[in-house]
A and B are shown apart, each in its own frame.
Chain A
Amino acid sequence: MKAGLNKFPELNKTKFENRGKELRLGIPVINSVVIGNSIACGFGDGTIRIFKSGQSSEPIKAHNGIVLCISKDGDDIITGGDDGRFLKISLNGEISEIANFGSRWVDHVTANNGSLVCTSGNIVYLWMPGRKEPKLLEHESTIGGVAFDSKGRRLAVSRYGGVTLWKKDYSNKWKSSNLLWKGSHNKVIFSPDGRYLVTSMQENQLHFWRLKDKIDSAMSGYGAKVKSFAFVHDTKFLVTSGSNDAVCWPFDGNGPEGRQPICLPFVGNKLVTFVEPFPNENAIFTGLSDGSVFLSEIEKSSNTIMIRSFTEFEVTTISVTEDASSILIGDMAGNILWTSIWDEENK
């Protein structure tokens, strides 16, 4: 796939596309991360690009092969690659290597309050603030995902057979407990209030645990693997991909058990491949397998706006700046839209 060969219909573009900047890079977009009002994006050729209002976004060569994962540590970007390197990259593009595992991939990275984490195979490498050497937390099977809670005192590690929950006690020792559910668990997140853990599975379903009483249940009914899910800020919805609708599960009260999700439909019946909450609103951006992206209010689905028209290639990332002024959309073929969300007169 080469840039320029992608069929990009010039007609019927949205106003967001008309006023934004479009790149056709021909390199799969892996994922992106928001740092204040900048957005860093990782690509399938090992480069990252940093998007900031009024600046160009030149490629920074970080990894030899693929940027497998991208996250942030304060104001720095952290990445893992198939070259076995775990890197920290400043917003100025300065790269420093935190660790190198050779031919073993760095599959997941995360950070919280100065603690840095990467995973390779079945091992979590945890650097406590100020420490040069990592602590190794070993698991029985390969790690599917890793997440800190908002305070950084708990670290959830998803794997085959469930989640290992590591807790830091008051003497700063990490102790683990297990949340078990048969099958292979991939991405894991905490709810913003820390009460729930949610994983996506190899099967077309999600699983959640209510941590205070360890009640757990599946969220199923999807037509495809659920690869993207997130809690909508300040509301009690978990929004998920993997269906032709954006499926929003209620997590208020006693959680989603026995309740129906709200399903937001889109024209064309394409698969939802990426979901991203709108900062501080009860609304979400939804990216589909044909490259189109919509903004919808969760409880008023009639209020749906098309942000990006179709490109034929599945949306692989959507990020919104912290001030909710700009959005970045990327797809599997390396088409990027970087645009302002608000009309000039509404700013």
Chain B
Amino acid sequence: MAKRPVDRSGLLLDIRNLRMEATSYPPGEPPRNVVIVDGVSVKLERGKVLGLIGESGAGKSTIGLSSMCYGRGGVRITGGEIVLNGRDLLKGGPRLLRQIRGREVCYVAQSAAAAFNPARKLMDQVTEAALLHKICTKAEAEKRAIGLFKKLGLPNPEIFGQRFPHQVSGGQLQRAMTAMALCSEPDLIVFDEPTTALDVTTQIDVLASIKDAIRDTNVAALYITHDLAVVAQVADDIMVLRHGKRVEYGDTRQIIKEPRQQYTNQLVSVHHIPHEENNPTDAPILSVNNITAAYGGGLVKVLKNVSVDIHLGQTLAVVGESGSGKSTLARAITGLLPPIEGKINFSGRVLSPRLANRTRDDLRELQMIYQMADTAMNPRQTIGTIIGRPLEFYFGMKGKERDARVAELLHKIEMGKGFADRYPAELSGGQKQRVCIARALAAKPKLIICDEVTSALDPLVADGILKLLLDLQKEENVAYLFITHDLATVKSIADAIAVMYRGEVVRYGPKSQVLTPPFDAYTDLLLSSVPEMELGWLEGAMKNRRMASAGN
């Protein structure tokens, strides 16, 4: 076993001038080298937490994994030094790597559901690394694991380990993964977006338990995320990365209060879109009356007596956790899931519950934009075909007339003419979502249902999409039904808000009214769970909570 310095202070990890490369194989071109990380240096002292922040493709995960000398997906370390506990990992060979991985450095992955082996009990997996490295006996390891389950606030810590991964919730699984990383008492833990896939109300729990565990065990951590507000709660220092290069490095207070680089400033001021609330008009364009919908032939009611109105040229935001029925509401309105009770009025006429019985005008005036723009477009059709099809289908446009209109729409979504001949795979995430917006606009709709349209995007890109949606709303006077779990988004774009909880609307009204106290317990929980870019916000939020989130 490697000698480990007993010294519990001083430098733990020292990465100098790290350079990482990968080979990409673009179709039809010779393979070429891509530099993923370019000359980044990271210093981390014992017991400190460093936040690595940046958009996707910034190289933050790659740098995090480099601390255990690992390159994911063919990424190679081609330059620099990685010194952990005084030893250069690049010169140590596989024997040293085996010693440190799972012993001195542990890793917490973004998707705990995908990272756990579904066939083995949690306890076996949590204690595996500690037993493999012969740190302690099985009984000691299990005792340690139970202690960690308790510390991380998991229910029934004594028997929690006897469960299988599918028997616990996503937030619990993420905490179990943190326990797994802590079990072998490492010096360093790499947290790779541990809360990104969770609901806001669950995220705050996981975040708080991670923070407590870090403080109590005095472990150092690299905390990787794209959400500056989250990292501000746990990190001592923050490094901002972009395109594999360091943009800015400083302590947390300086980064969020006095950012020195323009890019950092953009990240800090994200989600501040000025939007004036509109007053409701006399006649709503869409009015949902006492809708009840169910899956499984009426057995599982997922929508209970839901009523909302949407006015022309305005935005209704539907917020709630996953499982609250907000996407089901969209499915009921579009006719994909005919409601078993209630009716829907749309621009003065009653909508048929079933999609098959709706007229072409009903379909045209009610368009939808999806969360995953990737799967919402046929990968074998060009952008021109994708946007042009609704024109052909609803308006019978052909040839030059159609191409001209496609070009016009591309211009509207701030993309150039050249995109018409491209395929979706050749666009970036934000561009794909823009094309989906153009496809919806092509039908000249009165209402667009936006199902989590920004949640798969980087913050800055998401901001661009929201601004575009607002501009288009002014130009085209279209109404949005905006489904989201992100309250920051809601604040920037909504005119009215409906808060959903377990299939019911618990709070509904104009934005200013919904966001003004007094709150009901659930709205309060939801509002107070949204991370704010302030130091000490987490502690305050946890203290003032009136209702525990699901799974706690």
> Do A and B originate from a single complex?
no
Binding site for A on B (CB under 8 A): none
Binding site for B on A (CB under 8 A): none
